[in-house]
Amino acid sequence: MSDEQFAAAPEWTVSEWLNVAEPLNLAALRGRVVVALAFQMLCPGCVQSALPQLKRVHDTFDSSRVAAVGLHTVFEHHDAMSPTSLRAFLHEFRFDFPVGIDAPDPAGGTPLTMRRYSMQGTPTLMQIDAEGRLRQQTFGHDADLRLGAAIMALMLEAAGG
Amino acid sequence: MSDEQFAAAPEWTVSEWLNVAEPLNLAALRGRVVVALAFQMLCPGCVQSALPQLKRVHDTFDSSRVAAVGLHTVFEHHDAMSPTSLRAFLHEFRFDFPVGIDAPDPAGGTPLTMRRYSMQGTPTLMQIDAEGRLRQQTFGHDADLRLGAAIMALMLEAAGG
Amino acid sequence: MSDEQFAAAPEWTVSEWLNVAEPLNLAALRGRVVVALAFQMLCPGCVQSALPQLKRVHDTFDSSRVAAVGLHTVFEHHDAMSPTSLRAFLHEFRFDFPVGIDAPDPAGGTPLTMRRYSMQGTPTLMQIDAEGRLRQQTFGHDADLRLGAAIMALMLEAAGG
Amino acid sequence: MSDEQFAAAPEWTVSEWLNVAEPLNLAALRGRVVVALAFQMLCPGCVQSALPQLKRVHDTFDSSRVAAVGLHTVFEHHDAMSPTSLRAFLHEFRFDFPVGIDAPDPAGGTPLTMRRYSMQGTPTLMQIDAEGRLRQQTFGHDADLRLGAAIMALMLEAAGG
């Protein structure tokens, strides 16, 4: 439907998965639309706006067609946002979608997946189609109306393929 | 894509159109997805939630593909919600999408279009596809994420027809 | 407690009172702190913010000590905000505090009380002490925390007088 | 002004103070009204409602008359809410009022100050008068209008003493 060419979404490098029985990866999600949010648990815009939006995505769409996934991309205050703190945060705020911890760079700074996607900061929302291509990457906030439309477009593309 | 059969949306009977150069009707809107909101200017749920949502629809989607339309369906306090009051209300609240005044029944009570659609009250949101069929009618509030998805589904159906 | 001198609040000229058994006036309110809001029913800032705040004042404080009063000061769209429309508006939005209709100037334009108080527009909040003096007049919004503090200061001044 | 007798607020036992040059204690705050919030950094009601309210208190009132103070009373997920995490949290959310870390009980569970005040959970707001007496302790949320009034009552009592 479009003349644009989209590259495959780079694989995620995740050191630990939470809220899910088995580790996830992009190959395993093939066939489903993926809405993935890079966040930090101490980023106010993530806590107040982007994570509640991802939860709405998780609660609104059929999980066999749309996968809502969080990626904890810690690039500052590393000691303050440990896996232990993240686990308590997700529990207390009732964020029950799968969350992967972006693998830290042993040299410090930006974690591996965040760097591979050239993200500018958090929150960053990725839309990945059912064939694993990165269709959109947005730093900051996108309105629900627009996001709902974008998700449906990818769902129907997958269904009609 | 669906086995369901949808009936044609009943025509609107409008006594006066505001915010638009020429009177609208469903035939003239054929080819576009129509998101129409039945409201009353003194209904709190309309003012606080449903009308701002219709404005977001109006501002988000290309008007050559999606038409956002208000219908002022006054079924109580008729003297309080005259066309003069409505015109000032739309101006002050910056609601700039087309609004039709549902034609009052000379016998009083529910106006003609509202009765024809068997609406229970305001706000009621109608989704009409590009072929003029009533695809959804919702009394109360629908979340933006879900509404955005529904609009996109109708847009793509129209484009692919 | 203050060296400032405050003038008596100018009397209100009201053509009709709603939500109250008997007409009000400043003399009758002497002994109570008066929080009065000049508003228009089609002013978005009044509907979304100032009138809900006045209702919170009405619901929070003992009415034998603090009187919350609305003044409908129509200075534009006069035909759109008639007493009939106002009455339906107050009913539908559940604003149940006393509301006086500021008497229109037969020559048109700004109504009499609004002019007497030299108000710049709506919403305007007046704080009048128990001796009938105008202690504060604010065009626009004042935060609840600050307003609650101001009301208590006037209440205690009255009690200690 | 009241026949009630109020006991002295029990002293706080704080292991570390943040956002302040010198450790605080109730004796040092004598002469000022104290609004103190017991919170946990991973308690949603604290993050979304009670801490922003405390910041409004801090920003609204003259700090020489009203002291806004946070107490980090960790009674669960101790490893997740370490001083390191708290420090990053306060920095990222721009909470710049003094915060004391309630001293943990070596035996685990509820920290010392929280236990001494018999608190039921977080958020809990304490109002302490200028003579160091505990005047009100509220578990949950209190509206800004009511809180502003209560603070002003204590301020005037202090000024008039």
The average pLDDT across B37-46 equals 98
H or E element at residue A48? none
Task: Please report whether residue C1 resides in a domain.
Answer: no
The answer to whether the Cβ–Cβ distance between D150 and C152 falls below 8 Å is yes
- ipTM attached to this prediction: 0.94
Q: How far is the alpha carbon of A125 from chain B, nearest alpha carbon, in Å?
A: 15
Q: Looking at beta carbons, which residues of chain A come within 8 Å of D43?
A: 92
Write the CATH number for C140: 3.40.30.10
Q: What are chain D's partners, defined as 3 or more CB pairs within 8 angstroms?
A: A, C
Task: Please report whether residue A9 resides in a domain.
Answer: no
Query: Which DSSP string corresponds to D101-142?
Result: EEPPPTT-SS-HHHHHTT--SSSEEEEE-TTSBEEEEEES--
pLDDT, mean over chain A: 95
Q: Could you tell me which of C54, C51, C67 has the C-alpha nearest to residue C154?
A: C67
Q: Which residue among A82, A84, A93 places its CB closest to the CB of D44?
A: A93
Choose from A2, A135, A152 for mutation: most chain B CBs within 10 A.
A152
The average pLDDT across B80-89 equals 97
**Which pLDDT tens digit goes with each residue over A25-38?**
999 999 999 999 99
User: For the sheet containing A66-72, what is the strand order?
Assistant: A14-18, A99-102, A66-72, A33-39, A124-128, A134-139
**Which residues neighbour B17 within 8 Å (Cβ) at sequence distance 6 or greater?**
B23, B24, B98, B99, B100, B101
The answer to whether the Cβ–Cβ distance between B44 and C84 falls below 8 Å is no
For residues D77 and D109, the answer to whether their CB atoms sit within 8 Å is no
The average pLDDT across A59-69 equals 98
**Which pLDDT tens digit goes with each residue over A133-155?**
999 999 998 999 999 999 999 99
The answer to whether the Cβ–Cβ distance between B43 and C77 falls below 8 Å is no
pLDDT at A87 over 60: yes
Q: Looking at beta carbons, which residues of chain C come within 8 Å of D153?
A: 152, 156
Interface A-B, measured as beta-carbon pairs within 8 A, has a size of: 58
For residues B74 and B32, the answer to whether their CB atoms sit within 8 Å is no
B43 and C CB contact within 8 Å: yes
Give the confidence band of A123 by pLDDT, cuts at 50, 70, 90: very high
Task: Please report whether residue D123 resides in a domain.
Answer: yes
Bigger pLDDT: B2 vs D14: D14
The pLDDT, as a whole number, for residue C107 is 86
For residue A143, the Cα-to-chain-centroid distance in whole angstroms is: 16
- Which chain A residue has the Cα nearest residue B57? A145
**Which pLDDT tens digit goes with each residue over C4-25?**
789 999 999 999 999 999 999 9
C88 and B CB contact within 8 Å: yes
The answer to whether the Cβ–Cβ distance between C77 and B93 falls below 8 Å is no
The answer to whether the Cβ–Cβ distance between C48 and B48 falls below 8 Å is yes
Identify whether B123 is preceded by a cis peptide bond (ω within 30 of 0). Answer: yes
pLDDT at B49 over 60: yes
SS3 at position B161: coil
Q: What are chain A's partners, defined as 3 or more CB pairs within 8 angstroms?
A: B, D
pLDDT, mean over chain B: 95
The pLDDT, as a whole number, for residue D89 is 98
For residues C154 and C33, the answer to whether their CB atoms sit within 8 Å is yes
Task: Please report whether residue D102 resides in a domain.
Answer: yes
D28 and A CB contact within 8 Å: no
pLDDT at A2 over 70: no
CA A116 – CA A157 distance, rounded (Å): 26
Q: How far is the alpha carbon of C139 from chain B, nearest alpha carbon, in Å?
A: 18
Total residues found in chain B within this entry: 161
The answer to whether the Cβ–Cβ distance between D47 and A43 falls below 8 Å is no
Task: Please report whether residue A67 resides in a domain.
Answer: yes
Task: Please report whether residue B87 resides in a domain.
Answer: yes
pLDDT at B37 over 60: yes
Task: Please report whether residue B9 resides in a domain.
Answer: no
The answer to whether the Cβ–Cβ distance between C153 and D148 falls below 8 Å is no
D79 and A CB contact within 8 Å: yes
pLDDT, mean over chain D: 95
The answer to whether the Cβ–Cβ distance between A145 and B144 falls below 8 Å is yes
- Which chain D residue has the Cα nearest residue C58? D145
- Which chain B residue has the Cα nearest residue C76? B88
D56 and C CB contact within 8 Å: yes
Task: Please report whether residue C3 resides in a domain.
Answer: no
Q: Which residue among C80, C87, C91 places its CB closest to the CB of B85?
A: C80
A153 and D CB contact within 8 Å: no
CA C145 – CA D55 distance, rounded (Å): 11
Quote the number of domains for chain C: 1
**Which pLDDT tens digit goes with each residue over D103-127?**
999 888 899 999 999 999 999 999 9
The answer to whether the Cβ–Cβ distance between A80 and D93 falls below 8 Å is no
**Percent of chain B predicted with pLDDT > 70:** 98
The pLDDT, as a whole number, for residue D79 is 94
pLDDT at D3 over 80: no
For residue D8, the cross-strand partners are: D133
The pLDDT, as a whole number, for residue A130 is 97
- Which chain C residue has the Cα nearest residue B90? C42
Domain that holds residue D92: 14-19+29-160
The answer to whether the Cβ–Cβ distance between D145 and C147 falls below 8 Å is yes
SS3 at position A100: strand
For residues D86 and D74, the answer to whether their CB atoms sit within 8 Å is no
pLDDT at C116 over 90: yes
